[in-house]
Structure 1
Amino acid sequence: MPFVIILVVLTVPAAIFFCWYQMLVRKYKNSSFIMVYHKVDRYRGGLKGLCVSPEAFDRQMDYLYRRGYRAIPLGSLVDSIINKKDILPKTFVLTFDDGYENNYVNVLPVLKKYGWTATVFLNAGAIGQTVQYPMQPPEKHLTAEQIKEMSGRFDFEPHGITHRALTGLSDDEIREEAEGSKKVVEQLTGKDADIFCYPFGEYNGRVINLLKEAGYRASCTTLPGIVRQDADAYQLPRFEFKETKVWSPRYFFRNFDFYLRTFFAI
């Protein structure tokens, strides 16, 4: 009898864990995830959550690299979603919003180190300028020359012209933001720019319809979540990493899918 009890004590938890793990594998199969950053630099004031130190960013990339993940172009993931093709296993996408100069200074060397690619969503009206956003210190933005130099490792997509929330704009203003930023980025890079990023993560059905009319095939939100093959291409979720809040309970559970998936390297 003691042997039977010991056998049950050992096998039942193992069976439960195996079933749970298989459930996770099915959940994350044929899926990927998108990571979003803003500034990768020393904190110099303002909203601290928008800034990740170069050392922390490198550690995060090293963690993913050691877990067997690799970064792929955002366009490749969008292709898989639109064409209903299998998503390559253990792949993810790196995105950077606004187009800060520190992406050139501090991110480019890390991408070269791991042989990865990334996407920058450019605030088209701030290229080559120093801009101060609300509750932020003045920040230098990428110049046209830096953008061209980065083109081997980065793709560039539109993030509007004036960085205004589109939901509060008229149809004509939304068209100006969408079409104008698309034109600027395409002229600058010589490539199609057809993936949008919603300023402040604000969007609705009207905004999506106007983006479609402007020639966009996908767009990114600030909502967290795994990107599955059946995802809505105009509501792509992204995991945002805020160094100062990484261990807060709310932040942990917001990005729980990311931590769970990468811990098991699924």
Structure 2
Amino acid sequence: MSTAILQAEGVGYRIGGATLVEGVSLDLAPGRMTVIVGPNGAGKSTLVKLLSGENPPDSGRVTYEGADARAIPPWRLACLRCVLPQASRLAFPFTAGEIVRIGVDGIGRGLDRRRRLAIVAEALLRADVAHLAQRTFQSLSGGEQQRTQFARVLAQLAAGRTVAERQVLMLDEPIASLDLKHQLSLLEAAAGLAREGVAVLAVLHDLNLAAAFADEILVMSKGRAAARGTPEEVVTDSMIAEVFGVPLRVGTVPPAGRPFLLPQRI
């Protein structure tokens, strides 16, 4: 396995007397897609914020290429990692194209205006929102807004690659508002980036999609890592019952023994 770009060592986070994340360790290596799953309130989004450097951990540490995330200048951190949050609020009437251009503003080195515009155009196409470039962001549906934000992080990755050869992409529930076609196309794009050498981290609720796309799954429960391993190792009847509290059965019909779940009425 390639050397990890990002390493989290026993990270924890508390707020208002509540422990949201406790003692989680994780490493993200180039060329691999890691998926975090778990019930609501398990600490998944909080963990992403700790890994991205948005929130500093109360315990443990997060490093990029061996450097503590808290010591990395913001401009360089923006080149090392890109984050698609659960939701993005916008108060100004920007167009979708302008939103994507935010991803390249001030990011990267040696990029003239023509090259930056080319990066934006490519990102719009890759996220299937090129036809929406002139629409105001607020006029878009929730799914279209999410795809626009995905285009923004794609543009940021491309611009940041002129500074950081090894990068991390973090996606926090990226497909929650998407239709089936765009759920699959976004995850295929993320998996494609992993094949190109990006370390990809995604938070997903759909265990079938997690099993289909992940190289590794981290199961979060009550702020702690309940399980970590390949989909075949992690997605089991006992894990589903213990962590999610539902009696679902896991099957193995898909190719390569990838597990899948079928809802059953008991």
- TM-score tier by shorter-chain length is 0.3 to 0.5
Which structure has the larger Rg over C-alpha atoms?
Answer: 1
TM-score normalised by structure 2 residue count: 0.35
Structure scoring higher RCO (CA < 8 A, sep ≥ 6) equals 2
**TM-score with structure 1 length normalisation?**
0.35
Structure number with the higher helix fraction is 1
